[in-house]
């Protein structure tokens, strides 16, 4: 099963002088059970694209198929609430997502809204806080008083507490320190690998794409420039350089070695293989 976009266009402020076509005739297939990165320059349409997955935005033209639901332009979609329970979206700016008086109430809001008992919702909220690395002492704090990175964790915990099948994360590690970033990415990987969640992550960080994701979608001026597996995408770095994307450090290192007389195949995609290849060639030329 996969999530598909068929000829989806999205226009902001249709019928006004501010009309702007942010997505143009998008066709996409997002594999369920995988981790997919959505990348592209600022303003290319990534956030607009991912907000279609939980029907926060409805297509101006075209159709989205997700988790057995069909969202078609011009028709009032049915079962929106249940879709939003199954496809959780963490906004790029999580402060827009937080509104309860305390952190714990905010995180428990989603499950409660879906008819889960107060006690069970609080249990889930506490568990989600643990997963994202928020200490118990934050439970009674106001989400408005938190730092940007802490707010982001609360927003992510709020979505995790709903236990969605599809997790859509719009720049989830922006504003987190490097250690927290790694922990957060490891958490998403665990949710994907061990709990079978489909993860879609918008990011500008190619190291994250390279290390954690299976597939990559490149958005450019509201269109899909390319869609492929991550290993295929980074294999020949001239492809991503041609799209103005800086390849991951490991690939840049391989290129640099090749420019300096080594002959390392483009199938060498991890540090261990790179070190082995360098060692072999150094020994051969003694």
Positions that interact with Mg ion (CB under 5 A)? 46-47, 92
Closer to ligand ATP at the Cβ: 48 or 108? Answer: 48
Q: CA 169, 174, 176, 177: dihedral to nearest 10 degrees?
A: 130
Closer to ligand ATP at the Cβ: 14 or 186? Answer: 14
Task: Please report whether residue 20 would count as binding ligand ATP according to CB under 6 A.
Answer: yes
Residue 45 beta carbon to Mg ion: minimum distance, rounded to whole angstroms:
8
The tokens describing 136, both together, are 């118990």
List 43, 148, 196, 242, residue binding ligand ATP (CB under 6 A): 43
List 42, 76, 147, 267, residue binding ligand ATP (CB under 6 A): 42
DSSP 99: -
The tokens describing 175, both together, are 């504003």
Report the C-alpha gap between 107 and 142 in whole angstroms: 12
Task: Please report whether residue 92 would count as binding ligand ATP according to CB under 6 A.
Answer: yes
By residue count, the chain amounts to: 286
- Kind plus residue range of the DSSP H or E element containing 90: strand 87-90
What is the greatest pairwise CA distance in the chain?
71
Residue 43's binding partner out of Mg ion, ligand ATP, none, with CB under 5 to 8 Å set by partner kind: ligand ATP
Residue 196's binding partner out of ligand ATP, Mg ion, none, with CB under 5 to 8 Å set by partner kind: none
Report the C-alpha gap between 158 and 196 in whole angstroms: 19
Task: Please report whether residue 12 would count as binding ligand ATP according to CB under 6 A.
Answer: yes
Q: Which residues bind to ligand ATP, rule: CB under 6 A?
A: 12-13, 20, 22, 40, 42-48, 92
């Amino acid at each position: 099963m996969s999530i598909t976009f068929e000829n989806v266009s999205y226009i902001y402020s249709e019928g006004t002088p501010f009309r702007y076509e942010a997505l143009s005739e998008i066709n996409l297939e997002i594999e369920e059970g995988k981790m997919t990165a959505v990348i592209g320059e600022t303003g290319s349409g990534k956030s607009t694209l991912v907000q279609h997955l939980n029907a926060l935005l409805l297509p101006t033209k075209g159709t989205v198929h997700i988790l057995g639901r069909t969202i078609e332009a011009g028709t009032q979609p049915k079962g929106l609430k249940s879709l939003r329970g199954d496809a959780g979206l963490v906004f790029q700016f999580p402060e827009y997502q937080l509104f309860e008086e305390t952190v714990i109430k905010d995180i428990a809001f989603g499950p409660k809204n879906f008819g889960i008992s107060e006690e069970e919702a609080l249990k889930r909220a506490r568990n989600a806080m643990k997963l994202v690395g928020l200490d118990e002492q934050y439970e009674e704090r106001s989400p408005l008083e938190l730092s940007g990175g802490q707010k982001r964790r609360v927003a992510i915990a709020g979505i995790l507490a709903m236990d969605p099948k599809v997790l859509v994360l719009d720049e989830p590690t922006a504003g987190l320190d490097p250690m927290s970033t790694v922990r957060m990415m490891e958490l998403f990987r665990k949710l994907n690998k061990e709990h079978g969640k489909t993860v879609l992550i918008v990011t500008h960080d190619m190291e994250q794409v390279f290390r954690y994701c299976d597939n990559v979608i490149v958005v450019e001026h509201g269109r899909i420039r390319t869609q492929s597996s991550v290993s295929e995408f980074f294999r020949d770095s001239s492809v991503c350089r041609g799209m103005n994307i800086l390849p991951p450090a490991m690939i840049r290192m391989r290129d640099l070695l090749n420019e300096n007389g080594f002959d390392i195949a483009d199938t060498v995609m991890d540090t261990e293989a790179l070190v082995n290849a360098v060692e072999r060639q150094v020994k051969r030329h003694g």
